[in-house]
Amino acid sequence: MTRPDDPHSAPAQLAPPEPGQLPVVRLRPKAEARAIRHGFPWVYADELVTDRRTQALAPGALAVLEDADRRPLGLVTVNTASRIIARMLDRDPGAVIDKGWFAARIARAQDHRTRLYDAPFYRLIHAEADGLPGVVIDRFGDAAVIQPNAAWAEAHLDLLAEALADVTGVTVILKNGSGRSRGLEGLPEESALLLGALEAPVPVPMNGAVYMADLLGGQKTGLFYDQRPNHAFAASLARGGRVLDVFSHVGGFALACLAGGATSALAIDGSAPALALADAGAKAAGMDAAFATRQGDAFAVLEDLGQEGARFDLVICDPPAFAPAKPALEAGLRAYERIARLAAPLVAPGGYIVLCSCSHAADLTAFRNACARGIGRGGRRGQLIHTGQAGPDHPVLPQLAESGYLKALFFRLDG
């Protein structure tokens, strides 16, 4: 479905192998086959026998995975250039990855979302947890954005897009090929319009607010659906109060809090285009009189607000991933602590602070400890009243901790 004259066209698609002709890859004797049998979806590079035949496989090629005793474990996709060298696609080693296979996975995911939400604005596919490893699809009414973050998804993108259109009825499909995950798979950063036409940001109704999602040039897919339940909880705390939303993106917490009865909201972000979309969302919902923005580095703005003596009844900090991988963990935790230290003094007596992390490498305990240290270093004490996570359109695969990445800590601070 990629336009043939599009300069960002996807690479040539892999031809499906003939039945019974799939290559075989095998776990090393010391690899943990039990974890694979019990649902763990990845094989790391040091767990797989990488002989010449395996090394010769094209990135994203399909293969049958066997344990060290040559017993089949399922159908996988292989990328020898990635640390995650194999990803489980189907427990049936004879499964055929065609449009019908994609359609079945998408239909199952859609059935879950339509039970949750009245309108088609949600994360439709959450990678491994929805049976499509490395694939993210967000739906925006009649439009959908695909993030093919693994080589196999890039290779099968046309089939995936066709099945997506057939099952959901969307008339616009975009590919967003940006982000760290694609680099780890050896994939280039590139985006493309796969179906239909789109010229303007899409208005997204959520939690009583309106968000303007830039599907063509915004961050990730254009909007972060994962914070939906945390936006709602924050809004319940914001009634009648002043709100500061740091790392606000297109209005995030700020617009939800205004919809929930906050008297004012100040949104801070480093991106002028994101704040312009936040302004547009506030105007679309008739809340622009109570909404203000301030562009700048979040750390610097927090310091400035402290020197100005500013106080808010609710302060939210939802930064990008400071610890996206284990090598960045120590520095990331220091950054989270610093954010809490700078933000805590801005909270009025008896007010609330919300601190969020989307870092895979920082688990809940480490993140909570960093936030508590930061609040203490900011001269405040408080009680943890709620711990939030991503919404149910971001299901967690129990065997894969990385699929449950989002953490939102709600503290009530003392006087």
The CA-atom distances, in angstroms, between 385 and each of 357, 363, 374 are 17, 19, 17
- Nearest alpha carbon to residue 273 among 357, 212, 189, 221: 212
Q: How far apart are CA 190 and CA 376, in angstroms?
A: 44
Helix, strand or coil, per DSSP, at residue 265: strand
> Strand 172-175's sheet: what is its strand order?
121-126, 135-140, 143-148, 172-175, 192-195
* Eight-class DSSP state of 80: T
Helix, strand or coil, per DSSP, at residue 412: strand
DSSP 192-215: EEEES---SPEEEEETTEEEEE-T
Tell me the backbone φ, ψ of residue 246, rounded to 5 degrees. Answer: -100, 140
Helix, strand or coil, per DSSP, at residue 15: coil
Residue-wise burial string across 218-251, b where 16 or more C-beta atoms lie within 10 A, e elsewhere: bbebbbbbbbbbbbbbbbebbeebbbbbbbbbbb
Helix, strand or coil, per DSSP, at residue 127: helix
Please tell me which residue in 257, 317, 356, 358 is annotated as part of the active site: 358
Would residue 358 show up in a list of annotated catalytic residues for this protein?
yes
The CA-atom distances, in angstroms, between 146 and each of 124, 177, 340 are 10, 8, 34
Spatial contact of 371 and 340, defined as CB atoms under 8 Å apart: yes
Q: Which residue has the tokens 């319009």?
A: 193
Which residues have a catalytic role annotated? 358
